[in-house]
Amino acid sequence: MFDSFLVVGSINIDYNVRVPHLPNPGETLTGKSFSRAFGGKGANQAVSLARLLRESKEKVFFAGKVGTDDDGKNARENLKINGVSTQFISNSENHTGMALIEIDDVANNRIVVVPGANGDCDENWAVATIQNYCKLKPSIKTCFLFQLEIPIASVEAAIRTAKDSGGTIILDPAPAVPIEKKLWSLIDVVTPNQSEAQLYTGVFPKTNDSAQKAALKFAHMGTQAVIIKAGAIGSWYFDEKEQWFCPAFTVKALDTTAAGDVFNAAFAAARGKDMSASDSLRFANAAAAISITGEGAQSAMPGYDTVKELLQAQPKIVPRQL
């Protein structure tokens, strides 16, 4: 279905602190450990895609901005090492983006993002980037992946330009911010988690019925398909023809920071291999489950064969049609 992938979004350096529990307001805690890791929802999705497609012919591109500091140089090099093309990354006079992440003993997390160079991804840059990509790949079937950690006006401009090129649009609406009403009809797949779904629809999806209600509201906004990510519960898929629920796979969770990013990448990769919606949902659930078994956003992102192994190891975890 897809010959190429372009991820447009954020690049961060994650500063991770492990704590016994997430601190209350005014509470001072002694952290158990500290580490730096590469992150940013955009970069995470690009790295995850590249690992899943490493043995395939599909090409993964990333577009974003970094500072000229060491963090920016290291982040760019990390993408290259993982097989992501960096030719659409621009330099900013601002510092490279960062995220301050607290992770407790049961893998719950709390994240504060400082945009830095990500905030300099303006509308002109976004439009020019998509246009330059399309000149490079004029006849390629492209899947465009977006998130909301760069300015929303830039995301909207990029989506409009990408849709004009005939590409498929997958939007991870995180962090949840108001989106132009007309834009929803340009989105092929929107992938909120439960909290994001509630912010956009007013419905918190925790059962099949409530998930269907939330998905229907997204459909009325204009989006073609809806995936709701519900962590340890599983995930739902809805479009005008199909409705599926897939339970979560059983793993030992250490760090859930990038689970949603891996899910999106894996779903896109699976659809790119012409898997059905239900098989893609199961594949994405498995990839996301594996990703939470290691520390750091990108450390446990799996390759294609690793995901297949989990699918074979837990054959009873399968999607159910609603």
DSSP 193: B
What is the side-by-side strand order in the sheet with 142-146? 85-92, 59-67, 4-8, 142-146, 168-171, 189-190, 225-229, 234-238, 243-247, 320-321
CB 151 within 8 A of CB 122: yes
Residues pairing with 144 in the sheet: 6, 169
Contacts of 320 (CB under 8 A, 6+ apart): 244, 245, 246
Percentages helix, strand, coil for the chain, rounded to the nearest 5?
40, 25, 40
Q: Which of 14, 71, 120, 261 is catalytic?
A: 261
**Parallel, antiparallel, or unpaired: how do β-strands 168-171 and 97-103 relate?**
unpaired
CA distance 322 to 92: 48
Active site residue 305: no
CA distance 102 to 10: 19
Contacts of 218 (CB under 8 A, 6+ apart): 184, 190, 197, 200, 201, 226, 238
CA distance 18 to 109: 9
Catalytic residues: 261
